[in-house]
Chains A and B, each alone.
Chain A
Amino acid sequence: MSRFRVDEGLLWSLRGVAFLAGTIVVFVVAFVGWEASAALRSVGLSRFVTDPSWYPSEGLYSVLPMLVGTVLVTAGAVLTATPLGIMAAIFCNHYAPAFVARPYRRMIELMSGIPSVVYGFWGLVTLVPLIAQVEPPGTSLLAGIMILTVMILPTVTLFADSSIGRVSEEYTRGAAALGLTRWATVCHVVLPAARPGIVAGVFLATARAIGETMAVLMVCGNVVKTPGSLFDPVRTLTANIALEMAYAMGDHRSALFVTGLVLFLLIVALVWGAELAGEGRARG
């Protein structure tokens, strides 16, 4: 294809490097899967949900309490962050004057870059004592939901913002010409047009919430028990791995890799969902 020998060499080495980058994810699945296979063989998948509790030292491996913890923390955070994030994006595009919208956007971007351990630390030293005044111990499902909300808010906002920003000006001008109020324009014209991008952002935010480890580990209290109220401590699947990997051996260690594999599959499904939702945007 090329007259130059050196180009052939370059092409093949670039292909090699790209192939290597592409196989990393295969390696991740293979090694986590390999480590998980021991527990899948000796414990079996069904006992991860049918065992009475999670006591690895006594051979009990029910992950249900942690699964419930993950689902509750994630659901709470996504349900709070979605309206807030969409409102923040509408604010930037249709309500705020430019000199407010620009710094506001920049602030949201900066928020998305703050490390999770800093969010977790701040939650632990500020939010947890506040919640403890209402009802001890303070480390709770509620604290986890609040911190995760702040953490995934930028993801929802930035996706909604770029999606709303792309809605054609013809639409909003047309709405204005029809005498619609700003709010009616936003509700009935802008949001429906921007929906695919917003949904993709919410999917990715959900994935981020499920995978988040440090912040929930630091503020949730980590008791292995299905919570009865917002003020009860919970342990999530991710926190469970972080807490027990240090000393886990044998089947216990392998069981932690099983939960890691489950997290991985959940998140791949969500990223895929986000992509499908985003494709609507490309067509629309």
Chain B
Amino acid sequence: MDSLARSQRGEKLAQVVMWSSAALVSAVFLWMLSDLVTNGLGRVSWEFLTSSPSDSGRAGGIGPIVVSTLLIVSVAMVVAIPIGVGTAVYLAEFTSTESLLGRLVRRSLDVLAGVPSIVFGLFGSAFFCKTLGLGFSILSGGLTLACMVLPILIRSVEVGFREIPDHYRLSAAALGLSRTSTLLHLLLPAAAPGLAVGLVLGIGRAAAETAALIFTSGYVDRTPESVLDSGRALSVHIFDLSMNVPGGTPNAYAAALVLLGLLLLINGAASGLAHRWLGRNIATL
């Protein structure tokens, strides 16, 4: 009878601990969110999003920084999408899981997914900036990010292709379609959900990145005239304002809120799409 009472007490205790740990985690998240919203929202306006920063960013807006961020992310995606989709198609449709090239590519992408962003930064600065002579530029930053987002892009697109039922391929073969036209007219449209999820996740990953950009795309906060100019990403702007500019905190709040809002939107869309279309959780890991 004693042991019954004890195990009931234990059960109660476990319940309390579980609910309070969940409450703690939610509280931290809400604390952060509300802190950023209350301190940042007052400054975010159309004016702030479009005007140039002045006084090292203490005053003015983030117009040129938004332009640079969009350019860096676009360069990254324009380079990553053809390579990523091609690789995913190869892995999902044209090779068995046992083939040598398939295994090597998969293994190397797993390692690439684990490489810390600062090491990508070192690589980008040695390869794109120095060896290829692109210097501190939006192109260098975008190319570095392209390498970084490839693994997550490939993984999602591959899942999209594997979700397509086999009778699509069999019917196409029975109709005498070439594999190329099967791919272009049948499989690519059917894999659109996976493509969309991969694309959105890749954009989210690229937009969130800071460490890989500090010494590849640089700090210049003017509007870039071409992709060979240096441009400051939004994340780098937040870092610079909060660490190197005394009195930059109010504008850093606003910039952080803009970036956070953007990413919650992007990642929310990605996970919504993944749950709905792929019926599984690729997660933003």
Using a CB–CB distance below 8 Å, which chain A residues touch chain B? 2-4, 6-7, 9-11, 13-15, 17-28, 31-32, 34-35, 84, 87-88, 90-91, 95-96, 104, 106-122, 124-126, 150, 153-155, 158, 162, 181-184, 186, 204, 207, 210-214, 217-218, 238, 241-242, 245-246, 256-257, 260, 263-264, 267-268, 270-271, 275
Contact = CB atoms under 8 A, between A and B. Distances in A.
A248 to B, nearest CB: 10
A21 B116 contact: no
Q: Point out which of A15, A117, A183, A263 has the most chain B C-beta atoms below 10 A from its C-beta.
A: A117
B87 A118 contact: no
Contact of B90 (A17, A91, A118, A183): A17
B178 interface: yes
B238 A117 contact: yes
Contact of A213 (B117, B147, B281, B283): B117
Nearest to B106: A22
Given A17-B83, A271-B110, A260 B25 contact: no
Nearest to B183: A10
Interface stretch (B55-63, B164-172, B221-229, B263-271): B263-271
Interface in B22-54: 22, 24-26, 28-29, 31-32, 35-36
Nearest to A5: B178
B10 A121 contact: no
Given A14-B89, A14-B94, A87-B21, A109 B267 contact: yes
Main secondary structure of the interface of B (DSSP, over half): helix
B127 interface: yes
Contact of A121 (B18, B110, B236, B256): B256
Interface in B226-285: 235-236, 238-239, 242-243, 249, 252-253, 256, 259-260, 263-264, 266-268, 271, 281, 283-285
Interface stretch (B70-78, B190-198, B206-214): B206-214
B252 to A, nearest CB: 6
Nearest to B284: A113
Q: Which 3 A-B pairs have the closest CB atoms?
A: A211-B116, A17-B86, A115-B208
Contact of A96 (B22, B118, B267): B22
Interface in B173-212: 178-180, 183, 204, 207-211
A2 B14 CA distance: 62
Nearest to B93: A14
A95 B127 contact: no
B122 A260 contact: yes
A17 B18 contact: no
Nearest to A260: B122
B178 A264 contact: no
A88 B281 CA distance: 17
B119 A116 contact: no
A266 to B, nearest CB: 9
B238 A213 contact: no
A15 B214 contact: no
A19 B101 contact: yes
Contacts of B111: 25, 268, 271
Given A32-B122, A109-B271, A126-B35, A22 B105 contact: yes
A26 B82 CA distance: 20
Contact of A35 (B26, B114, B120, B122): B122
B21 A84 contact: yes
Given A14-B94, A122-B36, A113 B264 contact: yes
A21 B154 contact: yes
8 contacts: A6-B178, A116-B211, A121-B242, A122-B256, A154-B285, A155-B285, A242-B118, A267-B116
Given A28-B119, A113-B263, A118-B256, A18 B91 contact: yes
Q: Which of B11, B104, B180 has the most CB of A within 10 A?
A: B180
Given A21-B109, A112-B283, A125-B242, A263 B116 contact: yes
